[in-house]
Amino acid sequence: MVCRQRKCGCSKDDEYKHKSDPENLEENMKSGVLRKAKNVSSKFRSSLRNKIKRKNDTGICNIEDMHEIQDHKAVDAFRQALVMDSLLPTRFDDYHVMLRFLKARKFNINKAKIMWANMLEWRKNFGADTIMEDFNFKELNEVQQYYPHGYHGVDKDGRPVYIERLGMIDVDMLLQVTNVDRFVKYQVQEFEKSLAIRFPACSVAANKHIDTSTTILDVQGLNLMSLTGPVVEFIKVVQKVDNDNYPETLSRMFIINAGPGFRMIWNVVKPILDPETTSKIQVLGSNYQRKLLEVIDGSELPEFFGGCCTCAIEGGCLRSDKGPWKDQNLLKMTPTAEVHHVQTASISDNDGT
């Protein structure tokens, strides 16, 4: 920890010499002031550092939260526009939520406001606010048997990892145990769990704000013949719900085991996707393990993807929902409210602190 007298970057011995050498005192003071001014100016131009204090029964958790100055100003303007039109419920008065919608509309406030208003209307009609309590997806175990998927662990940045083995989907059997409407409700419930539980727990565990995830999409065996009507319908519906109401929650995606069949599909799909979305996606063949292990520790990666985790007690990795969100002590340290508007900001004196 650097004391107030040494914020200019001097060591303790240098500080003693400064105090004991009158001839150098004035010069060193000027140098220190100039360095400090330069550091503050540089930091102010690039970002604001917020410390969100979250009180709980065990103490206070401080989460470092960096805000880019340009983003901070845009969010402030967007927030004022929402307040003016009575479009800002307390639960959504959150810096990062508003920033995600701005990013989704290239920081066009009017377009972001329309998207935001549509989201609020959709939530009301769909029942998203209470779906975590109201909806019971009792067929989950059977669904996972015919469509393996789930959250499992975190990447090296602390983000939750979501896995889908799309190439192993059995559409006929899947439609015997559920239907598209119920599956979409289940997906919305999972989105809500990520916002309310997974992201906050990961933020506490990593000591920084986290609101995006890493996705691994295993497409081994997938080809044009696999994309039957129900599969395409499901993908379209879930994608629209995600894009319209939970924008900018994907950090990166790895599409693995991409053979010639999938690459034909990808060549058709890629041109119609947003360039910013495709920039987050890496399409990999069967030699994907090294790339995954660069961003996900082996202990967090399932054995079937080249890691060393099996979650044998839980019945397999994709049934375990392994992650910081399963730690009851961490959950106690997450905020009791679902979202928080960050109202205070301070400027760090040193770029590295």
Model confidence pLDDT, tens digit, residues 249-265: 999 999 999 998 888 88
**With 0-12 CB in 10 A as exposed, 13-18 as middle and 19+ as buried, what is 160?**
buried
The tens digit of pLDDT for each residue in 144-192 reads 999 999 999 999 999 999 999 998 988 889 999 999 899 999 999 999 9
Same fold for the domain at 63-130 and the one at 136-333?
no
pLDDT of residue 222: 81
- Residue 198: is its pLDDT beyond 90? yes
Confidence (pLDDT) at 7: 38
How does the average pLDDT of the chain come out, rounded? 81
Where are the domains positioned within the chain? 1-33, 63-130, 136-333
- What CA–CA distance (Å, rounded) separates 236 from 217? 16
Is 119's pLDDT higher than 70? yes
**DSSP bridge partners of 255:** 217, 283
The average pLDDT across 71-81 equals: 96
**Stretch 64-80: mean pLDDT:** 87
Whether domain 136-333 has CATH 1.10.1200.10: no
**Is the model's pLDDT at 342 over the cut of 90?**
no
pLDDT at res. 16 = 39
List all residues 6 or more positions away from 274 whose beta carbon is below 8 Å from its beta carbon: none
pLDDT at 330: 86
Cβ atoms of 324 and 46 within 8 Å: the answer is no
Lowest mean pLDDT among 45-59, 97-111, 213-227, 312-326: 45-59
> pLDDT class for 285, splitting at 50, 70, 90?
very high
HEC string of the chain?
A: CCCHHHCCCCCHHHHHHHHHCHHHHHHHHHHHHHHHHHHHHHHHHHEEEEEEEEEECCEEEEEEEEEEHHHHHHHHHHHHHHHHCCCCCHHHCCHHHHHHHHHHCCCCHHHHHHHHHHHHHHHHHHCHHHHHHHCCCCCHHHHHHHCCEEEEEECCCCCEEEEECHHHCCHHHHHHHCCHHHHHHHHHHHHHHHHHHHHHHHHHHHCECCCCEEEEEECCCCCHHHCCHHHHHHHHHHHHHHHHHCCCCEEEEEEECCCHHHHHHHHHHHHHCCHHHHCCEEECCCCCHHHHHHHCCHHHCEHHHCCCECCHHHCCHHHHCCCHHHCHHHHHHCCCCCCCCCCCCECCCCCCC
Residue showing tokens 């639960």: 91
- Specify the pLDDT at position 168: 92
CB 297 within 8 A of CB 156: yes
Whole-number CA gyration radius for the chain: 24
Fold for 63-130, please state it: Helicase, Ruva Protein; domain 3 (1.10.8)
